[in-house]
Each structure stands twice: as C-alpha cells, then as structure tokens.
Structure 1
Amino acid sequence: MAELAQRLRYYRKLRGLSVRELAERAGVSVSYIYAIESGARGSNAAKLGLIAEALGVSLSDLWGDARPEKGDIPRDPGGEND
C-alpha cells in the first residue's frame, strides 16, 4: 500500500495537479485521494482506473504490477501534500 501511495503522489505532482484537481478529473472525492496518499485506505480497482486515466498513466504504472526493483519506485518530486 505504501508503494501505491508513493506512486500516486509522484504522478500527481509530476502532472502539476493538486489533490483537488486530481479528484475532480477522476470523479472521486478529495478525501479518497488523501486517504490513498496517506496509506490509510485500501484502493478500489475501478476508482484507481479513473485516477490512472486522469493522470495519463496505466493502471499497472500506478498499481505497480511490474514489481519494480528496490529503488525503482518514483521518488516524490517535492513537497508533502499539494
């Protein structure tokens, strides 16, 4: 779950989106995005698909199905939250 949180935050910031902007684009609640990014909530595959689409990445990129080697997980491009 920590990898998903890290990947979601990375791709969101890479696209220059705030949590609110991503939530609006994906059609999910702001609290849902915050919960995933904080690792406090499990993910729903359908909602994750919407989020991946809004970010312009594949679900595999977001979910991490490729099982990257340690250190291959994208680092947070900056800041903690928005």
Structure 2
Amino acid sequence: MSDLTIGMQLKKLRKETGLSVKELADRAGVSQSYIYAIESGTRGANATKLSTIAQALGVPVADLYDVYAY
C-alpha cells in the first residue's frame, strides 16, 4: 500500500471522527506538520506512530491500511 493511500485513509478517518489536524496531532503526540505530511503522501509513517495515531482516532491500526473498511 502506498504512503498516499494510507494518507488518504487517515484524512478520511480523521474527518469522520470530527478531529482537526491540530486535535489529532495533540492526541497522538506528533506535530501538525507530520499529520499533514502523512495525509498528503509526502511522508510515510512508521508502524509505531501509525499505531499511536490510530489509537488517537479510536480505530484499529488496520483501518489505516484498509481503504475498503467503510
């Protein structure tokens, strides 16, 4: 799965949960620019950070990889 696809899924899930980039970044303990970079596909995320981001969203980490989850 490409970084862009994961980023698109992250953005979709973030919007579905009603979180701003700032709110998600604060909850996950990462910078806003990091979230923006993942969502735009310009940067990949390691498994540990994706797990933290998924937890902040309240979803299983597998949902970030599964574009057909919803």
Displacement of 1:73 after TM fit?
6.5
Q: TM-score, normalised by structure 2?
A: 0.88
Q: Is the 8 A contact 2:63 2:69 kept in 1?
A: no
Q: TM-score, normalised by structure 1?
A: 0.76
User: Pairwise mapping of residues 1-82 of structure 1 onto structure 2 (< 5 A)?
Assistant: 1-64=3-66, 72=68
Q: Is the 8 A contact 1:12 1:18 kept in 2?
A: yes
User: Which ranges of structure 2 fall in alignment gaps of 5 or more residues?
Assistant: none
Aligned length: 68
Q: Is the 8 A contact 2:7 2:38 kept in 1?
A: yes
Percentage identity across paired residues of the two chains? 56
* Largest Rg, 1 or 2: 1
User: Which ranges of structure 1 fall in alignment gaps of 5 or more residues?
Assistant: 75-82
Where is the helix percentage greater, Structure 1 or Structure 2?
2
What is the DSSP-based 3-state SS (H/G/I as helix, E as strand, rest coil) of the residue aligned with 1:8?
helix
RMSD, aligned CA: 1.5
Letter of the 1:59 counterpart: V
